[in-house]
Chains A and B, each alone.
Chain A
Amino acid sequence: MGVGTAEQVIASSIVTASPAARAALRVRLAGLLYVTPAVLWVLVFFFAPVLIMAGYSFLPLDANGELGSVGTGDYRAFFAQGAYLGALWNSIVTTAIVVACSSLLAYPFAYGIARLVAPRFQRIALAAAILPFWTSYVVRSYAWLLALSPTGVINYTLRSLRLIDHPLILAYNPHATELGFIHFFIMLNTLTIYANLVQINPRYALAAQDLGASKWWGFLTVTLPLSVPGIAVGAFLTIVLCIGDYVTPQILGGFRELLLPQLIMMQIQRQLDLPMASAMSLILTVVVAMAYLAMQRWLKMARL
């Protein structure tokens, strides 16, 4: 067979192959056709922008504020600045806290809906769980501010009850940011964990009990390990959405600590320093990629 394009090779294979092989090839081609839009989407809207961003990150601005020659100046500047590294560290720590707390709080909630709520009420319970999703993300953050600020509901109540003389500083700090995030991501984690739990046959846990395990031990050794994919998917989505978020720390954090997305915005707002912003964004992307690699053995979308 001479050298030809992939299409020619496939076409000639279809013509010369047996009916079964031809059918298999057709299935493969159909599969290829189905995934092409998704692959194109990822290439155009993910890989291409990342490549452009990577390219920019190696063109640090010169002394006149214009694109300079190729170099790693912005990466070196990033790793030389304690405040910049601190922002990266704060982003990682905040994300870790949010992932841990939202997973821990979401699990019993999801478990309750999947195993304790009667099937006919599960849909209502799920709808209730995702109701807060219906409001805008910004509005939700400001709503927390109304509760946590020095003149907010909590301080007002405590002062009315004469339990405090001066308002507690509940807003404008990293804990307020974490609270805003956790509130949002509990819902997301509830959905992913629930979707996983309903696929686990409850008879597995019953079988463990038949074999002498207590209910608690059966849950720990059977149900919980089987629900790890749901936890992992929720945790990974939380990492992706939380580590790059700008709005919540901006509204609730009060700049008590700087997170990396806020630092990225600082580079753009004043000097339009796209190379430095790109370098920081790429570092953030690498962190997310590392999280993916660390978690990939548990990330089983098919189990959702």
Chain B
Amino acid sequence: MTARVHHADRVFARLLLPAVALGALTLGMSAAEAAGTLNVLTWCDHEDPALLHPFETANDVKVNFKDIDSTAAALAVLKQSKPGDWDVLVIDQTDTGRLSKLGVLEPLAAKDYPFASIPATIADPKLTSVDGTLYTVPEKFGYNTVAYNKSMVDPAAMTDINAPWDPKYKGRVAVYDYYVPEIEYAAIALGKDPATLGDGDLAAVKDKLVALKQNAAMVGDVTTVQQALATGAVDMLVGGGEWVTAGLSKDQPNLDYMIPHQGGVRWQQGLGVFATSKEKPLAVKFIQYILSPDGQAKLATSSCYWGMPANSQASLTPAQKTILRWDDQAKFVKASHPYLQMTPEFDKKLQALWASVLQSK
């Protein structure tokens, strides 16, 4: 028994000591590198080593990122962090006002960023600023419109926003499950301007979405709907766009997207600096790097998802520009509506509407 205990002690010591040594070494390394670390709350498209490495090398820093998928996720992380833990935030620019009111964001100087190369609609102060103060810089945008397999459906038919409601496509449609763009898309299909949506419009929007769901094979999250379109389980995706099709273009050249003549919905993400950051100059440098032609090209063609770079000087290849439908952008931006900026109260109403759509038979 004693021998066994001693043997167990020896085994324990053998396992434990290296583990303790490794842990101490790791902690030591972390501490040694802490001064040169930039902490970024980011969506998955900023995590490619090819994007981060040039910045890390040029500034002798390590970019430590944490993956988030929404502003709410970022707020949840912030609640569990100490002030100063995070330096840079990737944000859905619709939430710029909301976060600046919470005092989370640091005011930025417009002169530090290439606004001259960013289309005016994308640089719209409604999305970047509050009371004339800049809080976020646009970096990437794209569309929630209709993505489709052009070998299975007629691209000409997709120019009508009502195509996914056509009974001939029953069971061949997928719907992306984010309620904000879907509600806006249905409003556009009803001939309404999403920006003026009010309580009186919600019943009609709900009926329109219920009809869409009845014609659809599925409603699903990013992974599910992208997989469904890529595997041929469905032929079109309402709420899809270049973020679904462009990254797959090499293997799935038949996947494409377009903005119907009635219009579509535009998503837009930006970068902000946390008010409590201890590395503000470095955070500004990071945003400048991401907004540089090289940073923009790498961000636009991220392995996670593609999207249009905000800076029109992005050093994309002609082939990449074709995949992103570069030449159509002026037309697409004009025809698309940004995500709704709404009160939490109206947002709750839309969420309840979406829940009732999902619950409908």
Residues of A within 8 A of B (CB): 61, 63-65, 81-84, 86-87, 90, 145, 149-151, 166-167, 169, 171-172, 250-251, 254-258, 263, 266-273
Q: Produce 1/0 per residue, B217-236, CB < 8 A to A.
A: 11111001001100111100
Q: Which of B8-16, B243-251, B347-355 contacts A (4 or more CB under 8 A)?
A: B347-355
B344 touches A63 (CB 8 A): yes
B233 touches A255 (CB 8 A): no
A250 in contact with B224 given A151-B231, A268-B72, A271-B72 (CB within 8 Å) = yes
B72 touches A83 (CB 8 A): no
A258 touches B72 (CB 8 A): no
B72 touches A169 (CB 8 A): no
A270 touches B355 (CB 8 A): no
From B179, B221, B351, residue with most partner A Cβ within 10 Å? B351
12 A-B pairs (CB sep. < 8 Å): A82-B359, A145-B227, A172-B218, A250-B221, A250-B224, A251-B224, A255-B220, A258-B355, A258-B359, A268-B72, A269-B69, A272-B72
Task: Tally the A-B contacts, defined by beta carbons under 8 Å.
Answer: 93
Q: Could you tell me the distance between the alpha carbons of A263 and B69 in the complex, rounded to whole angstroms?
A: 17
B217 touches A61 (CB 8 A): no
Chain B, Cβ-Cβ closest to A81: B352
Contact of B24 with A by CB under 8 A: no
Q: How far is the CB of B127 from chain A (nearest CB, A)?
A: 18
Contact of B75 with A by CB under 8 A: yes
Q: How far is the CB of B339 from chain A (nearest CB, A)?
A: 11
B343: chain A residues at CB < 8 Å are 63
Contact of A269 among B70, B101, B224 (CB under 8 A): B70
Q: Could you tell me the distance between the alpha carbons of A13 and B345 in the complex, rounded to whole angstroms?
A: 63
Contact of B73 among A83, A250, A258, A269 (CB under 8 A): A269
B232 touches A254 (CB 8 A): no
From A86, A90, A258, residue with most partner B Cβ within 10 Å? A258
A263: chain B residues at CB < 8 Å are 355
Q: How far is the CB of B343 from chain A (nearest CB, A)?
A: 7
A149 touches B344 (CB 8 A): no
A149 in contact with B228 given A63-B343, A83-B358 (CB within 8 Å) = yes
Contact of B72 among A86, A254, A270 (CB under 8 A): A270
Contact of B347 among A90, A169, A271 (CB under 8 A): A271
A270 touches B70 (CB 8 A): yes
Q: Could you tell me the distance between the alpha carbons of A270 and B350 in the complex, rounded to whole angstroms?
A: 11
Q: How far is the CB of B313 from chain A (nearest CB, A)?
A: 34
Interface of A is mostly: loop
B72 touches A87 (CB 8 A): no
Contact of A272 among B75, B177, B345 (CB under 8 A): B75
A150 touches B359 (CB 8 A): no
From B220, B231, B355, B356, residue with most partner A Cβ within 10 Å? B355
Chain A, Cβ-Cβ closest to B221: A250
A271 touches B344 (CB 8 A): yes
From A64, A65, A81, A171, residue with most partner B Cβ within 10 Å? A65
Q: Could you tell me the distance between the alpha carbons of A296 and B320 in the complex, rounded to whole angstroms?
A: 63
B233 touches A149 (CB 8 A): yes
A254 in contact with B217 given A266-B351, A270-B347, A271-B344 (CB within 8 Å) = yes
B358: chain A residues at CB < 8 Å are 83, 255, 257-258
Contact of B76 with A by CB under 8 A: yes
A150 touches B233 (CB 8 A): yes
Chain B, Cβ-Cβ closest to A252: B224
Q: Could you tell me the distance between the alpha carbons of A270 and B179 in the complex, rounded to whole angstroms?
A: 10
B219 touches A254 (CB 8 A): yes
Q: Which of B304-361 contact A (CB under 8 A)?
A: 343-345, 347-348, 351-352, 354-356, 358-359
A169 in contact with B171 given A61-B344, A254-B220 (CB within 8 Å) = yes
Q: Could you tell me the distance between the alpha carbons of A273 and B101 in the complex, rounded to whole angstroms?
A: 17
A151: chain B residues at CB < 8 Å are 231-233
B224: chain A residues at CB < 8 Å are 250-251, 254
A272 in contact with B344 given A83-B352, A149-B233 (CB within 8 Å) = no
Contact of B98 with A by CB under 8 A: yes
Q: Could you tell me the distance between the alpha carbons of A167 and B232 in the complex, rounded to whole angstroms?
A: 11
Given A150-B217, A254-B220, A258-B359, 5 extra CB contacts under 8 A: A65-B344, A84-B352, A149-B233, A151-B231, A151-B233
Chain A, Cβ-Cβ closest to B175: A255
Q: Produce 1/0 per residue, B56-70, CB < 8 A to A.
A: 000000000000011
Q: Could you tell me the distance between the alpha carbons of A258 and B220 in the complex, rounded to whole angstroms?
A: 12
Which 7 A-B residue pairs are closest in the complex by CB-CB distance? A254-B218, A65-B344, A255-B219, A172-B218, A272-B72, A83-B356, A83-B355
B351 touches A87 (CB 8 A): no
Q: Could you tell me the distance between the alpha carbons of A274 and B344 in the complex, rounded to whole angstroms?
A: 13
A64 touches B355 (CB 8 A): no
B220 touches A84 (CB 8 A): no
A84 in contact with B344 given A150-B217, A254-B217 (CB within 8 Å) = no
B220 touches A172 (CB 8 A): yes
A257 in contact with B359 given A63-B343, A63-B345, A169-B217 (CB within 8 Å) = yes
A64 touches B356 (CB 8 A): no
A90: chain B residues at CB < 8 Å are 359
B98: chain A residues at CB < 8 Å are 65
Q: Could you tell me the distance between the alpha carbons of A169 and B216 in the complex, rounded to whole angstroms?
A: 11
Q: Which of B78-115 contact A (CB under 8 A)?
A: 98, 101
A84: chain B residues at CB < 8 Å are 352, 355
From B101, B348, B358, residue with most partner A Cβ within 10 Å? B358
B73: chain A residues at CB < 8 Å are 269
